[in-house]
Amino acid sequence: QILEANRHTERMAEIELARDTETLKSVNRTIRAEVASEDVFVRRWRPSFGYAVALTWIMTMGAIAYAIILTPLQAPAIIAALVNTSPIWGIALGVLGVSVVKRSADKKIT
């Protein structure tokens, strides 16, 4: 039974590795197409997205700070409501982080 369990574990690892390999190939094809593109927007989407996220973050935090300063009694409710934005910010900052890392790798390659 142990041998069968090990065989099954190895097979599952092989399947996962194959899936991850295909995913990385797809991402690499996309990034290569982006770098080779003559279209300015295609080459600039990562910096544009970064600036958009930064601007949105500044505006959101500024609005929250302003609301808390104007209505300090509502601060707990405002901060509690901010928790509801966590999934949105998590995704946006995650995409931004991957973009920054990939751009750094692209620069090293070129």
For residue range 26-42, list pLDDT tens digits in order: 888 877 776 676 767 66
Q: Which two tokens stand for residue 30?
A: 């996309």
The answer on 25 and 44 residing in a single domain is no
Position 76 pLDDT exceeds 80: yes
The answer on 78 and 26 residing in a single domain is no
Q: Which residue, chain included where needed, has tokens 């390659």? A: 109
The answer on 83 and 59 residing in a single domain is yes
Kindly state the DSSP code that residue 32 receives in the 8-state scheme. H
Helix or strand (DSSP H, E) at 13: helix 2-36
Sign of the torsion formed by the C-alpha atoms of 16, 22, 28 and 30 = negative
The answer on 44 and 68 residing in a single domain is yes
The answer on 110 and 75 residing in a single domain is yes
Helix axes 40-70, 2-36, angle to 10 degrees: 100
85-99 average pLDDT score: 87
- Its pTM stands at 0.53
Tell me which residue range forms the domain holding 23. 1-36
The answer on 26 and 47 residing in a single domain is no
State how far the Cα of 7 lies from the Cα of 13, in Å rounded to an integer. 10
Q: Report whether 70 contacts 109 (CB < 8 A).
A: no
